[in-house]
Each structure stands twice: as C-alpha cells, then as structure tokens.
Structure 1
C-alpha cells in the first residue's frame, strides 16, 4: 500500500505532482471591499494538483516517497506538517533510510524544515 493511500486514504490522483504549479484561489470569506480578490497559495498549502490543500505539503511528501523505490514500502512511518515543517513520526529500519527520507522531503516545494525528533531507528 502506498504512502498516499495509507496516510490519507487517497489513490494517486491523475496528474498529481510533487511540485505542481500553484493555482490561484479565492478565499472562502471575502470582504465587501474586495469581492473578487484572489491570492496565491502558500507553498506549504499547495495540493497534489496545484490546488489549495491544508495538508498539501504532507501529501506531496507522501507522493515523493511513493515515487522512490527505496522508500515506497516503509509502513511504520507517518508524515504530517506544521506550517512549512515536515514532521516524520514512527520507526525506520536504518539511519540511511531516514537520511534519504529527509533529503526527499527537503526537495519538496514549501518544505522549510524536516522534524525527525519523533522517529526511532531499528
């Protein structure tokens, strides 16, 4: 089972990308002074297809892990996000695998840092 399916219950969407171009979005609550204002999506909130997604960074990191054959079968680790920080939680088989995961996560647009304080090795 892939990362997206295990963590978010999602099959990989068609055209999903690790670093898609962000779409413009209109905030749900608009003010009367700016009824048609659009703004760009913060990098950590860009979803798999460039749409706004509260968990966009975590989903795109999960997709990146799915696309790496060394990481696609690790099912004892979870991915979350706190703003622009990717949070890894759980257990990995080796320090080398953890280092690879950190490297992959850092290369996802919007990832400012990777927190591994909740990961055990063994």
Structure 2
C-alpha cells in the first residue's frame, strides 16, 4: 500500500504531481499559497502533506516505512511515528524539503528504531 493510500485513503490521480502549478484561485479569490497546492494544482488544505506522500511513493526504498505519518502545519512538514533507521529518516527529510511549499521539516515526533 502506498503512502497516499495509507495516509489519505486515495489512489494516485493520473494527473498528480509533486510540484504542480496552481490551476485555480484560492477560496478567497487570491493566489493559492504554495503549501495549499494540491496534487493536481487545485486548492487543498492538506496539499503539501499529500504532495510529500506522493514524493515518498516515488522513492522505492521508503515503501516499507509503515509506522510513519505525514502532516503539515502551514509550510512545515510534520513527520510523526517511527522509522527503521536514521539514514531512512534523513532521506525522508531530504525528500520532504524538496517539495515546493515546504519551509521546514519537523521530526521531533519521530523515533528511530
């Protein structure tokens, strides 16, 4: 089961991208903030977390990390749970930091082991 399926109960949409261009206006009529851009460029309150999950899905060596969750607080990607080793956590942080709209990655709620 992939990250999107496990965390958000959804299959990857055909047009999903890690860094899509916004295709519509925000609910207030303005520009969509980078952390609110969804998988296909639409406004999505959890857009950044979903795009990070998609980025994790694209990394085969991250598929076995089933005790970790991804959330967001504004532009901060929040990782929670447990990972198998420090190298895996470091890779996850690196992948998450590479997603448009991510300003930081919080790992204080992650245990290694």
TM-score range, shorter chain: over 0.9
**Are residues 1:108 and 2:112 paired?**
no
For 2:10, the equivalent position in structure 1 comes to: 10
TM-score, structure 2 length as denominator?
Answer: 0.96
Q: How far apart are the structure 2 equivalents of 1:26 and 1:78?
A: 26
Structure number having the greater helix percentage: 2
- Structure 1 stretches (4+) deviating beyond 3 angstroms? none
For 1:57, the equivalent position in structure 2 comes to: 48
- Runs of 5+ consecutive residues of structure 1 not aligned to the other structure: 29-37
> Is the 2:35–2:102 Cα contact (8 Å) retained in structure 1?
yes
Report how many aligned residue pairs link the two structures: 113
Distance 1:83 1:50, change over 3 A: same
TM-score, structure 1 length as denominator?
Answer: 0.89
Q: How far apart are the structure 2 equivalents of 1:58 and 1:20?
A: 14
The root-mean-square deviation of aligned C-alpha atoms, in Å, is 1.0
For 2:110, the equivalent position in structure 1 comes to: 119
TM-fit CA distance, 1:24:
2.7
- Runs of 5+ consecutive residues of structure 2 not aligned to the other structure: none
TM-fit CA distance, 1:40:
1.2
Report which stretch shifted further, 72-81 or 110-119.
72-81
Q: How far apart are the structure 1 equivalents of 2:32 and 2:66?
A: 30
For 1:93, the equivalent position in structure 2 comes to: 84
